[in-house]
Copies of this chain bind each other. A is one copy, B any other.
Amino acid sequence: MEENLVEKLIGAFMCLSGVGYKTAQRYAYQVLQEDEEIANNLAATIVEARNKIKICHECGNFSSNDICEICKTRTSKIICVVKEPKDVNCIEKVKNFDCVYHVLHGCISPLDNKGPDDIRIKELLQRVATGKYSEVIVATNPDVQGEATAMYIAKLLKPLGIKVTRLAQGISMGSELEYADEVTLSRAIEARREL
């Protein structure tokens, strides 16, 4: 009987991505053994976040209001299109770069039955059609789905006369040539620049 409740807690943690039985067990025993504060705070914050956080009507990022803080305060003419809300975080960490965002909430992926209508491409077209923007940077991941989505968006937007760009591909800072894969190297060579 009593094992079930511990097992149920372990099972609940196993629903988190990348959490197997051993990790879930560690979390569960920690929640049971440590300060009640930690457990209650975690539970309350999950519920609070789920209830209060919605999707910004403008960019699709998470927000506690109808329009998020970034859309409300920034007047950049550059829209950066990303796959997921967490990607906004990544780009926000880049200093000296000012843009607004558009979160697609996914990429085109026929294998997962995700077509252009299942992600927020229509909303992007509407935003671009307002004429407020001069450039769209498609910052989806450089994988098959991300590339396909970028091509699709570029094909739709170019006729509207807006500049559509993609993040440069090449070798990472601090990495070694030895460990770069062939496709990355070939793109880095293609996009080589004069010193």
In the complex, the count of this chain's copies comes to 2
Are B36 and A43 in touch, CB under 8 angstroms? no
Complexed CA–CA distance, A33 and B84 (Å)? 10
Determine chain A's interface SS by DSSP, over half rule: helix
Nearest CB of B to A193, in Å: 31
> Digit string of A25-58 for contact with B (CB within 8 Å is 1, else 0)?
1111111110010111111111111101100000
Complexed CA–CA distance, A44 and B2 (Å)? 17
A-B contacts, 28 listed (Cβ < 8 Å): A1-B64, A1-B69, A2-B64, A2-B68, A2-B69, A5-B49, A5-B52, A5-B53, A8-B45, A12-B42, A12-B45, A12-B46, A13-B42, A15-B38, A15-B42, A16-B30, A16-B42, A25-B86, A29-B84, A31-B50, A32-B50, A32-B53, A33-B84, A39-B47, A40-B46, A40-B47, A42-B43, A43-B46
Residues of A within 8 A of B (CB): 1-3, 5-6, 8-9, 12-13, 15-18, 23, 25-33, 36, 38-50, 52-53, 62-65, 68-69, 84-86, 89, 105
